[in-house]
Amino acid sequence: MIYFINFGMPAKKSGIEHAQLKRAHLFDKNKTAYYFLTRDWVYDSHVTAHEAGINDSQMINMFDFYQQALFVEPKELHVNDIEFGLKNLHFTDESDNSRFIVKRANNQMVARFNYIKESQQVYSVEMFDGFNNLYRVDFYDQRGFCSKSQWYTPDNKIGTETWYTPGGQIVLRNFNRKNAVNEVEKTGWLLSEHGGTIHQFDTIDELFEFFLNQINEQSSETNIFVLDRSSLADQALTRLHKPAFTVMYLHSSQAGDAQDPMNSVMNNNYEYALTNVDKYSAVVSATQKQAKDVKARFPTIQRNYVIPVGVVPEVILEQTRIKMNTRTFGKIVAVARIAYEKRLGDLIRAVALAHEKFPEVSLDLYGYADSTDNYAEKRKITALIKELDLEDVVTFKGYIDDVQSILDDAQIFGLTSLMEGFNLAIMEAISHGVVGITYDVNYGPNEIIQDNINGYVVPFNDYKAMGAKIISVLTHKRTLQRLSNGAYESAHRYSEENVWQAWQQLLDDAKTLKVKHVR
């Protein structure tokens, strides 16, 4: 069996989740079975997975696995369905806060019932004792059962957490304790299995390693594990009890400085895996250039594959091409997290230069804001927009799942990142005929964009050169249309057929090559 490893499938997805979904659609089309193997507990994980097109038979979550909740017939729970064990209770709906306040007849607090605004379905209930102390919070899986409880200490801190089967049996618990540097961490994970066996783990990483081994040992065949989030299981996959075909998928630069891949420190997300790369069956890079650089620096790689993380469906490749003169003139878009490494400030400065020449120029920024340091990067970019007097030119559009409509109206896609692993957004842009203008950044953009064919690659860090190219293509409309034609054509490199051939080679090797047992 084939497993794609990640934290989960949240509503707001990063490039990794989008890449996994595109891969899944490709595997579905080629009738090849797989599972999403996820670690984290989230109350609405099945809702967000279903919205992304993943059904329950395609996903194994670690908590669901131990909670005997892989398949649960969904039902809605509302305030009248929750038993508080008391009579003559009064319920006050605070709709502005999406909650009911539950009190006794004497006005003593019993609970706060928190619900989803649209449906009033419960997602958590805060319980209070006779002295108005919060002592427990119950969390409800959106399929309709109490899945997790947090038990509070007298100083109002989370002490113990417990997870239940749909029938109410406790199967997992952990303890929140201070470590040697006085930081609270989750430790002492206790797992109760069928037959009464109890296992103890210090960390969730150890628990996840145990889970991976159990999944691996269920099958008599050689399993394929594709690790998309390295921090989840980079060590665990080198310690499997039974041989498996283990794949480290590089979704970003392997080097801390992507422009100096042979000499800079390693990207800490991949440091363990690449230091122990001989213990993996294979490494997958999304571009030829990265695969070459990785192999040069880490020659003990057993097998080295190039498989784009993106796929352009046939329906997109066959769509009617939209001429540049029917799109909004000067419309520039970027699809990226509002984060430091995306360096959107450089793109805004380039747009400012173009706006001086063409007042019609505008920039739409699509993506959710990184919350680091209280959304520091978005605040910084907002200040820059104001400083350059671009409030009517640059617009934050927020996160969006379906980018087709915005790409069909845009003329230029701008990219100024510090590093990339592929960049799905710019691949999607060229498939809609949008002209890409990007920094010469490793890896992906400087391979997806072919200079003077489907866009331009400008020197790294040179926003003035980017601004000049924007002005140039908007000035020369025939060039703009020629590059758009080239964008449509170049997208065929990422067709379903081409990407599947790359995957097929890996899958065939996994079946026919002897897997080295590295434990």
pLDDT digits (tens, 9 = 90+) for 268-291: 999 999 999 999 999 999 999 999
**What is the total residue count of the chain?**
519
Take residue 353 and report the two structure tokens written for it: 């230069």
| pTM to 2 decimal places | 0.91
pLDDT digits (tens, 9 = 90+) for 193-229: 877 899 999 999 999 999 999 999 998 889 999 999 9
Contacts of 290 (CB under 8 A, 6+ apart): 250, 253, 254, 421, 442, 443
Contacts of 472 (CB under 8 A, 6+ apart): 479
CA–CA distance, 433 with 11 (Å, rounded to integer): 28
- Alpha-carbon radius of gyration of the chain: 26
CA–CA distance, 317 with 192 (Å, rounded to integer): 51
**What is the per-residue DSSP string for 293-316?**
HHHHH-TT-S-EEE--S--B-HHH
User: Along the 519 residues of the chain, how does pLDDT read in single tens digits?
Assistant: 999 999 999 998 988 999 999 999 999 999 999 999 999 999 999 999 999 999 999 999 999 999 999 999 999 999 999 999 899 999 999 999 999 999 999 999 999 999 999 999 999 999 999 899 999 999 999 999 999 999 999 989 999 999 999 999 999 999 998 888 888 889 999 999 877 899 999 999 999 999 999 999 998 889 999 999 999 999 999 999 999 999 999 999 999 999 999 999 999 999 999 999 999 999 999 999 999 999 999 999 999 999 999 999 999 999 999 999 999 999 999 999 999 999 999 999 999 999 999 999 999 999 999 999 999 999 999 999 999 999 999 999 998 877 888 999 999 999 999 999 999 999 999 999 999 999 999 999 999 999 999 999 999 999 999 999 999 999 999 999 999 999 999 999 999 999 999 999 999 999 987 666 555
AA identity, residue 153: T
CA–CA distance, 213 with 240 (Å, rounded to integer): 6
CA angle 292, 297, 302 (to 5 degrees): 75
Q: How far is residue 54 from each of residues 20, 21, 185, 210, 244, measured CA to CA in Å?
A: 11, 8, 32, 25, 25
**Domains 2-70+206-306 and 314-493 belong to one CATH topology:** yes
CA angle 169, 170, 173 (to 5 degrees): 170
Secondary structure class of 36 (helix, strand, coil): strand
Cis check for the bond before 443: say yes or no (omega within 30 of 0): yes
Contacts of 67 (CB under 8 A, 6+ apart): 147, 163, 164, 165, 166, 171, 172
CA–CA distance, 519 with 510 (Å, rounded to integer): 18
CA–CA distance, 124 with 133 (Å, rounded to integer): 17
Q: Was domain 79-203 assigned CATH 3.90.930? A: yes
CB count in 10 Å sphere of residue 223: 23
Take residue 205 and report the two structure tokens written for it: 């990483």
CA angle 117, 119, 125 (to 5 degrees): 70
The residues pairing with 245 across neighbouring beta strands, listed in sequence order, are 224
CA angle 32, 35, 36 (to 5 degrees): 130
CA angle 216, 517, 39 (to 5 degrees): 35
Query: Which one-letter DSSP state was computed for residue 219?
Result: -
Q: How far is residue 42 from each of residues 47, 120, 242, 295, 335, measured CA to CA in Å?
A: 10, 18, 30, 38, 26
AA identity, residue 277: V
2-70+206-306: CATH topology is: Rossmann fold (3.40.50)
**Computed from CA positions of residues 457, 458, 464, 468, in that sequence, does the dihedral angle turn out positive or negative?**
negative
**Long-range contacts of 252-255, Cβ-Cβ distance < 8 Å, separation of 24 or more:** 252/419, 252/420, 252/421, 253/290, 253/419, 253/420, 253/421, 253/442, 253/443, 254/290, 254/293, 254/294, 254/297, 255/293
Q: How many alpha carbons fall within 13 Å on the CB side of residue 9?
A: 28
Question: Taking Cα atoms as reference points, which of 475, 10, 343, 477 lies closest to residue 365?
Answer: 343
CA–CA distance, 352 with 335 (Å, rounded to integer): 18
Q: What is the CATH number of domain 314-493?
A: 3.40.50.2000
Instruction: Return the domain boundaries, the chain.
Output: 2-70+206-306, 79-203, 314-493
Start-to-end CA span in the chain (Å)? 20
Is the distance from CB of 434 to CB of 322 less than 8 angstroms? Answer: no
The residues pairing with 92 across neighbouring beta strands, listed in sequence order, are 101
Question: For 321-363, what is the HEC assignment?
Answer: CCCHHHCCCCEEEEECCECHHHCHHHHHHHHHHHHHHCCCCEE
